[in-house]
Structure 1
Amino acid sequence: MVHEDAGGGDRLALAVVAQWQMATTEQMHLLIAPGVRIEQTRRRLAKLREEGLVDRVTLPQAGRTRCWFLTQYGTQIASEWPELRDWRPSRTVSDRTAARLRVGHALAVAQAGLAFVLDARQRADVCQPLDWIPEVHHPLGSGEAVIPDALLYYRHNTDTDGGGSMLRAFIEVDRGTMGPERLAAKLGAYARLHAYAPAPPPGTRPRLAVQEESWRRRYPLFPRLLFILDSTGSAGFKNRVEALNAATRQLPPAFLHNVPILATAMTELLQHGPAAHIWQPVTRLGYRASWMHTQHP
């Protein structure tokens, strides 16, 4: 069982491992307990492992980095928690073989998420560890779905009196494992999600049925779309952004008008932080913006 210690540390640690799917010891420490020594985080994770809730793989690189993931027992426990209502246990990595096969992409997504969480702390904004939700399922009908690498919730505080705005973003992290055209094709899926309204239930009288896009049940505004491009170098980044730009010419004007679409390199994200003017709107090549200040119309 998960111990309800004074600070809820065990529960938070297990919830973060569950929702983030995989994370290194250092990433977990920065997410759940940056104010204490990292040895305390190591002991906490070791205790959860002894209890059969998490397991780990050791990466064959300098420092023998340990990467943590949920076991089937940990999945069973965490799946009942209300704070993980958007989490999909069916997509959890629960054995070492699966963990080794997914570790590269999973840790890149976690690295991006950590950048947003740490930046929010420095800026007195609000982005808690559980405000980063990988692989949220958005159905498109006929068995199709849009599943972003992560969904981000971020509250940007604009003054000392608590004023601000809630920002949401779909995150796509590309490590250069697919060609530019395949990456750009993701824009079409998001455009379909933007327009998708489920058919009324059988037997519903058409004139009484309210046709509403499915995403409006979750979000007051369609989330921004942020592409984080990694492992491609400057030439690869340029090629991918140009492919995204070309793909926008085939998209519905309503989607382009209502949804900011931006891209940045992982290296710039980590060096300057996500709030910096490092984001390139894919419809306006050569221009740089802050993802927070690129407003919905």
Structure 2
Amino acid sequence: MAAIDTGGGDRMALAVLAQHRIATTEQMHLMTAPGVRIEQTRRRLLKLREEGLVDRVTLPQAGRTRAWFVTQYGAEVAGGFAELRGWRPSRLGADRTAVRLRAGHVLTVTETALAFVQDARRRGDVCRPLDWIPEVYHPLGSGEAVIPDALLYYRRTGAGEQDWSMLRAFVEVDRATMGPERLAAKLRAYERLYRYVPMPVGRPRGGAIQEAQEEWRRRYPLFPRLLFVLDGTGSAGVENRLSALRAAARLAGADFIRQVPILAAPLADLLRDGPSAPVWRPTTATELFVSWVAPSAG
């Protein structure tokens, strides 16, 4: 039986790593304990490894970076945490080869999450490491589903104590490993999710028939914004991907485009200026740059 510390540091580290799936030592440090020296985070991870809760692989192509992940035992322990209620273990499992082969994409997603967490800290907003939830399953019927790279919860604070709003976003991180057309197809999949109404099963007792509604309304008061984070390409590649997203947006229904902000930005700009900066390009405009947290962004 692992001895998770009562102070909560081990517990938080295990919960964050379980949810984010793969992270480097530095990412874990900045996520969970930025106020202490990184050696303390390194010792904590080594302690969790000794207890069989986490493991690591070394990535030669990334300067021998160590990428951490939870073991099957660690996933079982984390699954009992209240803060991870409803959490589903990663499809990676504890397979070291699968972790190594998928580390490039997953670590980029984790880096994107870290950008939002750090930006919120600077702004006085609320976006904790566990407010970034990778791979949330959204059914489309017939066995199909939309699974975003992450679902983001973000509390934007205002001038007064009661002046705040909760923002939600589906985040897709594109590393230019697929063509622009496949990226644009993701936008069309989200429109399908926006419209998807599951077929009722049977007839309720008493004969009352409930009005059918879209599946997403069971989870969200508003359909989350769509944020496409573009990496792995130069400015020309970014423009090609933006063009593909704009083409898909022009073919989408007017109500979907009107109700759901769809924004795209290079990861390099997010890391340099912060996600709340006006670095996002709406798919409905060519020259406009906006902040994703601004009311005008939706």
**TM-score, length-normalised on structure 1?**
0.96
**1:160, distance to aligned residue in structure 2 (A):** 4.3
Equivalent residue, structure 1, for 2:263: 262
**Please, which moves more after superposition, 57-66 or 171-180?**
57-66
Does 1:274 find its partner at 2:278?
no
**Please, which moves more after superposition, 59-68 or 37-46?**
59-68
Contact 1:200 1:209 in 2 (8 A): no
**1:54, distance to aligned residue in structure 2 (A):** 0.6
Equivalent residue, structure 2, for 1:81: 81
Secondary structure, aligned partner of 2:60: coil
Q: Provide closer, same or farther for how the CA distance between residues 90 and 30 of structure 1 changes in structure 2, counting only shifts above 3 A.
A: closer
Contact 1:18 1:92 in 2 (8 A): no
Amino acid at match of 1:241: L
What is the CA–CA distance in structure 2 between the aligned matches of 1:79 and 1:164, rounded to whole Å? 31
Secondary structure, aligned partner of 1:169: strand
What is the CA–CA distance in structure 2 between the aligned matches of 1:93 and 1:103, rounded to whole Å? 13
- Alignment length (residue pairs): 297
Contact 1:197 1:213 in 2 (8 A): yes
Equivalent residue, structure 2, for 1:157: 157
What is the CA–CA distance in structure 2 between the aligned matches of 1:168 and 1:73, rounded to whole Å? 31
Identity of aligned residues (%): 64
Does 1:199 find its partner at 2:207?
no
Which whole-Å deviations, capped at 9, do the CAs of 1:81-106 have from their partners, x for residues lacking one? 22113422152441210111100000
Q: Provide closer, same or farther for how the CA distance between residues 201 and 62 of structure 1 changes in structure 2, counting only shifts above 3 A.
A: closer
**1:124, distance to aligned residue in structure 2 (A):** 0.6
What is the CA–CA distance in structure 2 between the aligned matches of 1:265 and 1:296, rounded to whole Å? 17
What is the CA–CA distance in structure 2 between the aligned matches of 1:200 and 1:295, rounded to whole Å? 37
- 1:149-228 to structure 2, matched below 5 A, reads 149-204=149-204, 208-228=209-229
Equivalent residue, structure 1, for 2:35: 35
Which whole-Å deviations, capped at 9, do the CAs of 1:121-164 have from their partners, x for residues lacking one? 01110000100000000011110000000000000101142421
What is the CA–CA distance in structure 2 between the aligned matches of 1:280 and 1:52, rounded to whole Å? 44
Which whole-Å deviations, capped at 9, do the CAs of 1:33-84 have from their partners, x for residues lacking one? 1111111101110011011111001121465221100111111111222211
Q: Provide closer, same or farther for how the CA distance between residues 115 and 161 of structure 1 changes in structure 2, counting only shifts above 3 A.
A: same
- 1:234-253 to structure 2, matched below 5 A, reads 234-253=235-254
- 1:52-131 to structure 2, matched below 5 A, reads 52-61=52-61, 63-89=63-89, 91-131=91-131
Secondary structure, aligned partner of 1:221: coil
Amino acid at match of 1:32: T
**TM-score, length-normalised on structure 2?**
0.95
Contact 1:2 1:11 in 2 (8 A): no
Does 1:20 find its partner at 2:17?
no
Structure 1 unmatched runs, 5+:
none
What is the CA–CA distance in structure 1 between the aligned matches of 2:296 and 2:53, rounded to whole Å? 42
Question: What is the root-mean-square deviation of aligned Cα atoms in Å?
Answer: 1.6
Q: Provide closer, same or farther for how the CA distance between residues 58 and 162 of structure 1 changes in structure 2, counting only shifts above 3 A.
A: farther
Q: Provide closer, same or farther for how the CA distance between residues 12 and 260 of structure 1 changes in structure 2, counting only shifts above 3 A.
A: same
Which whole-Å deviations, capped at 9, do the CAs of 1:211-241 have from their partners, x for residues lacking one? 1111111111100000000011000000000
Contact 1:196 1:213 in 2 (8 A): yes
